[in-house]
Amino acid sequence: MIRLPSFEICAPTTVEEAVALKAGYGPEAMYVAGGTDLFPNMKRRQFEPKVLISLRGVQDLRGISNGTGLTIGAGVTLTELTNHPDVRKSFPSLAEAAGLVSSPPLRNMGTIGGNLCLDTRCTYYNQSHAWRKALGFCMKKDGDTCWVALSSQKCLAVSSSDCAPVAIALGAEVRLVGPQGERRIPAEALYRDDGLEYLEKMADELLVSIHLPAMDGWRSSYRKLRRRGTIDFPILGVAVALRLAEDGTCEAARLVLGAVASRPLLVPQATELLVGQRITEQLVQDVAEVAAKSAKPLDNTDMALSYRKKVTRVYAARALAEAAGLPAGD
Ligand SMILES: Cc1cc2nc3c(=O)[nH]c(=O)nc-3n(C[C@H](O)[C@H](O)[C@H](O)COP(=O)(O)OP(=O)(O)OC[C@H]3O[C@@H](n4cnc5c(N)ncnc54)[C@H](O)[C@@H]3O)c2cc1C
Ligand code: SF4
């Protein structure tokens, strides 16, 4: 059994206290919410914080409230999100994605904030310390080589959150609070295509809440590829959100791919093809084709690269057909 290293834990009860603690301890400290990603990573010595700032007691991170759209506290668990009637009714793709994360015990602990801030993953990185040491480590932690692409100057580890592509497709915004104050940015702007520095968030900034706009007339869907349907991370995710006019013309559309790059990948060509058109089975195939072409997955997650490339087209077609109310074919 791999053991956790020792660390100190702080238990703030307010956002301000949590942020002040993080700023005070600096790079030695990390936030922890459910710990379902951070603790395994600490066991493998991928992260070695001396201090953890637990978010469990911060009441302002809890709860889902209705206003213009929905505001979801970062500390809401994935189980709460999946079961919430307003999320299920208005944002079914988010309920679906949250319900597909991992397994029930981890969804009971894991939070939406932790899911959106999830570390990027790679076959050469999500390994024990002994395994990584035997290889000579890699650029993401303790080394300077990328084993996926030896000539790469940057880490190509993969964004593997189920909820992040959905949040972007739904046009969500996130509220961040840091020592310098607070800001609200589109979920799309939270991510960088860099396996190391994968968030635009500053290290001390706390993700406090997620804001979903009112989506009258929108439909959404999420499809996930993984080996074991009960626990595995996505090796492909497709999130679609569409607004259709009464006559069936597509007025707005967003298609986002997960697990094909170091950040969730918005496919603007899909929007261009869809908007102003009635969605037919042929159009679904055309959009799926451009989505698959945009995806440039690498050989650093589960399943063969060639299979993952082929199946991107199939999953994009299914997600789009479902959102458009056409037969999804599975
Ligand atoms: C076996 C297994 C299978 C898994 N399968 C999946 C899967 O299929 N899909 C998937 O998406 N995930 C999966 N996960 C990862 C994880 O369980 C989820 O992503 C979960 O939602 C993470 O939330 P958490 O609250 O536990 O995050 P934590 O582990 O507490 O934190 C994760 C990261 O986010 C940071 N963080 C947490 N909250 C905040 C905040 N409010 N503000 C700023 N930073 C914050 C932490 O510092 C840390 O860097 C899996 C994990 C395991 C162990
Ligand atoms: S993509 Fe390269 S640098 Fe990044 S984790 Fe994998 S092997 Fe390491």
Q: Using a 6 Å cutoff on CB, does residue 237 contact ligand 1?
A: no
Sign of CA dihedral 309, 313, 316, 322: negative
139 lines ligand 2 (CB under 6 A): yes
pLDDT for position 1: 78
* ∠ Cα 152 39 107 (to 5°): 100
- What average pLDDT does this structure show over 143-161? 96
Does 34 contact ligand 1 (Cβ within 6 A)? yes
Tell me, what's the pLDDT at 161? 98
Question: pLDDT band at residue 229, thresholds of 50, 70 and 90?
Answer: confident
Q: Kindly tell me if the per-residue pLDDT of 330 is higher than 80.
A: no
Nearest CA-CA partner of 47 in 34, 33, 29: 29
Distance between Cα 172 and ligand 2 center (Å): 29
pLDDT greater than 80 at residue 181:
yes
Question: What average pLDDT does this structure show over 75-102?
Answer: 97
- What are 283-308's pLDDT values in tens digits? 999 999 999 999 988 899 999 988 99
pLDDT tens-digit readout, 196-219: 999 999 999 999 999 999 988 899
Write down the mean pLDDT value for the chain. 96
- Ligand 1 centroid–CA 106 distance in Å is 9
The predicted pLDDT at position 36 comes to 98
Whether pLDDT at 329 is above 80: no
pLDDT for position 318: 97
**Does pTM surpass 0.85?**
yes
CA distance 116 to 263: 11
Q: How far apart are CA 88 and CA 197, in angstroms?
A: 33
Q: Is the pLDDT of residue 11 over 90?
A: yes
- pLDDT tier, 228 (very low <50, low <70, confident <90, very high otherwise): very high
Task: Please give the pLDDT value at position 176.
Answer: 98
Residue 161 belongs to what H/E stretch? none
Q: What is the pLDDT of residues 60-72, one digit of tens each?
A: 999 999 988 999 9
Taking the CA of residue 156 as reference, the ligand 2 atom at the shortest distance is 1
**pLDDT at site 305:** 87
pLDDT band of residue 279 (cuts 50, 70, 90) is very high
pLDDT of the residue at 65: 96
pLDDT at 2: 87
As a whole number of angstroms, the distance between CA 319 and CA 325 comes to: 10
Q: Looking at residue 189, what DSSP letter applies?
A: G
**Is 138 in contact with 132 (CB distance < 8 Å)?**
yes
pLDDT over threshold 90, residue 321: yes
In this structure, are strands 29-32 and 51-54 parallel, antiparallel, or unpaired? parallel
Whether 242 shows a pLDDT value over 90: the answer reads yes
Q: Beta strand 64-67 with 181-186: parallel, antiparallel or unpaired?
A: unpaired
Q: How far apart are the first and last CA of the chain?
A: 40
Predicted confidence at residue 250, as pLDDT, reads: 97
Residue 53 CB less than 6 A away from ligand 1: no
Given the structure tokens 């840091």, which residue do they identify?
178
Residue holding tokens 């400290």?
29
Ligand (nearest to CA of 195):
2
For 94-140, the pLDDT digits (tens) are 999 999 999 999 999 999 999 999 999 999 999 999 999 999 999 99
